[in-house]
Amino acid sequence: MEYYFLNPETHLMERFRPTFKMNYKRTLSDRYAWGHEAVKFMKERLKEGYNPFEEIKLQSQPVTNKVVIIPTCKDQLQKILDELCKISTPNAGETYRLMFGRWKKYLDAKNKGQLKIDEVNLSECLQFQTYLKEDCKLARKTVNATVSHLGILWDELKIGSNPFRNVPVLKAQRGRKLKESRKDIFEPFTAKELERIIKHLLEKEQRPFVRFLAFIYYAWARPIEIMRLRIKDIDLTNRAIIFRKEETKNDKPAMVQILDPLYEFLVEMDLGKYPDTFYIFGRNGYLPGEVMLNQRYHFNDLWNDLVKYSELQIDKNPYALKHSGNIEYLIKNKGKVDLKWQQRQNRHSSAVQTEKYNRALGVYFIDTEQINFNSFI
C-alpha cells in the first residue's frame, strides 16, 4: 500500500508506504490474514477516539520569518519519476525517463522552468503536444506516447484532474499526404553531408555510433536488423554477415559480404573477447553487450540529438545511408556494375527489383571513355 500526499509545510509531494513489517510473513495467505488483523485493530482504535493526525504536529499559524519555497512542476515530477523507477523494470524506467526528458526540454525551450503544478492546465499540455510535433518533428505515435506517459506520472501526484488525460490523440493522416511523407527515405546524403556528420560524431566521441552507421552504409542493412545481429552472426574468416530468417523483414535468411572498410571497423571492435551470444551493438554505449538496443529510444533519439536537431541541421532519414552506399557503388564502379552482386548484397528477391531500386535512386553512370562528342567550342 502506498500513496503520495502534499506536505503543507514543504509543499512537496511525499511518499507514504507503510509495510507494517509484512515482509516477515513468508506466504501470501499469511500476509492477507495479518492485513485483516491490522485493519480490525485500527478500526477499534478509531472507535475509541484515536486521531492519527494528532501525531502530525503541524503549525496552525505560518511562521513569519520562514520563507516557504514552492517547488516547481519539474522538481515534483522528477521526484515522482525517481520513485517510480525504483519499482519499475529497467526498460519501463528508461522509457519514463525519456518521456519526462522531453517535458523538461519543453520547459527549458519555452523559458518555463519555474512553472508550478497548479499552473499546468490543458492549454499548457496542448502547447507541449504542438512542441513535440512541430519543433521536435516527432512522429505521431511518439507524440501520443510521450503525452500518455506524462499523464501516468501526473496520476501519481494524486491531486485531482489530470490535464494530460484531456489532450486529444493525434490521428494518422490518410491518402496522398502519408505517401508523400515517405519520399525523404529515398533522399540520399551528399558527400559533403556525410563528411560533416562523421566529423561531428567523432568530435562528440561517438565512434561506436559511427561503426553502427557504417553497417547501414556498407552492409545495406536496416537499422533494426543491425540491432538484432549477434557476434555469432559475424564470420570474419569468410568476411560475411549472416542475417537469420527470424531477424529479417521478409523472413528470409541471407549472407552478405563484408567490404574492406566495414571489416576494419569490425577488427577494431575486437569481437573475439565477447561471448557469441552478445549483441554487436548493446545498450552500453553501442559496444557489444547482453541487451539489445531499442530503435526508438537508443537509435532514433540519438540520431536526432546528434544530427537532425544539432548544429548540423541535417534533416534526413538515417536509413538513407543505405541508398548513399548503393550510389557510391554505382558511381565508383561505372561500366562494371555487377547487378547480381548488388541484388544479393541488398537481399532483393530478383534483379528486376534491383533495377527498379536503381531507377528510384536516379543514378546511372557509364565510363565516359566510351562516349564520343564533338567539341562544344
CA angle 187, 193, 195 (to 5 degrees): 135
Q: Quick: pLDDT tens for 189-232.
A: 999 999 999 999 999 999 999 999 999 999 999 999 999 999 99
Tally of CB atoms within 10 A around 298: 21
pLDDT of residue 218: 95
Q: Would the pTM count as exceeding 0.75?
A: no
Backbone angles phi, psi at 235, to 5 degrees: -110, 90
Dihedral in degrees, nearest 10, Cα atoms 220, 224, 229, 234: 10
C-alpha cell of residue 360 = 528510384
pLDDT of residue 15: 66
Residues 193, 314 contacting (CB under 8 angstroms) = yes
Q: Quick: pLDDT tens for 148-205.
A: 999 998 888 877 788 999 999 998 765 544 444 444 456 889 999 999 999 999 999 9
Residues 157, 71 contacting (CB under 8 angstroms) = no
Q: Quick: pLDDT tens for 28-78.
A: 777 777 777 777 877 787 787 766 555 544 444 455 555 556 788 889 899
Residues 158, 5 contacting (CB under 8 angstroms) = yes
